[in-house]
Amino acid sequence: MKAVGIRDGRVVDNFNDADEVVQAEDLEEVYEGASIVRRDADSNPVFDITDFVVFEERRAAEWSKIRETRNAYLLDSDWTQLADVGLTEEKIKEWKAYRVLLRDLPDDSANPLTVEWPTQPS
């Protein structure tokens, strides 16, 4: 069971913006913007599946943009891992850690709209 914030009949990500919080049963994910079509006999919300499809398309497009940006950041920082780069061992480790965070980014974030990018070493 998952808690879902509702405002004006639509799912919101931030519970502080919600008029009510409900439990959604048998749903792996309920997406921001999904509409409640009706309530079942136990007052659980039943969501409009077309909202899920639209959000999934938006989500896939966002993940694609994130991967593209992530790959550009990795490419731009490739030079930091070369043997003759001229950086201190400490700086090389900082850059290596940054690159690991970039590579793990899609797997570490559940929502592509709230991705927190790692800070590039100076």
Q: Would you call 98 helix, strand, or coil by DSSP?
A: helix
Regarding pTM above 0.85, the answer is no
pLDDT at 30 over 60: no
pLDDT at 117 over 70: yes
Q: What percent of the chain has pLDDT over 70?
A: 57
pLDDT at 119 over 90: yes
Between 73 and 11, the more confident residue is 73
Mean pLDDT for the stretch of residues 59-78: 91
pLDDT of residue 10: 67
pLDDT band for 88, please (50, 70, 90 cuts): very high
Q: Is residue 96 a contact partner of residue 74, using CB atoms and an 8 Å limit?
A: no
H or E, element range at 2: strand 2-7
Q: Is residue 98 a contact partner of residue 120, using CB atoms and an 8 Å limit?
A: yes
